[in-house]
Amino acid sequence: MNLTLHEEYIVMATLPTDGKQIEMGIHQKDGSFATWEVADGNYQQTHYFSDRDSATADLCSRTLDELRLKKQVQEKEQGRGR
């Protein structure tokens, strides 16, 4: 199994959205968790957590937010095309 690392974190989950990914990782030394957005290889908007459940909830929430935004943009564009 290949592991992906970001700084001191082992990436545990990656959820793709348009143009970016939302990832969750566990710190190799202290066992804390983090989520972040990755766009064009750039890691940004990191959120830190002490427990896995909170990090997982954030991973899902951030991904759903991106999907909702995509849907809003598509609906707006469809409205202009009429």
- Residue 9 domain flag: yes
- Residue 82 domain flag: no
Going by the DSSP 8-state scheme, the letter that residue 50 receives in this structure is S
Judged on CB neighbours under 10 Å (0-12, 13-18, 19+), 47 is: middle
Domain that holds residue 16: 5-76
pTM score of the predicted model: 0.86
Tell me, rounded to whole angstroms, the distance of Cα 41 from its chain centroid.
13
* Cα 28-30-32 angle, rounded to 5 deg: 90
Q: For tokens 């592991």, what's the residue?
A: 3
Write the pLDDT tens digit of every residue in 16-36.
998 899 999 999 999 999 999
What pLDDT, on a 0 to 100 scale, did the predictor assign at position 18? 84
Q: How many domains does the chain have?
A: 1
What pLDDT, on a 0 to 100 scale, did the predictor assign at position 49? 98
Residue ranges of the chain with pLDDT lower than 70? 1, 81-82
Rounded distance between C-alpha atoms, residue 63 and residue 50, angstroms: 20
- Residue 81 domain flag: no
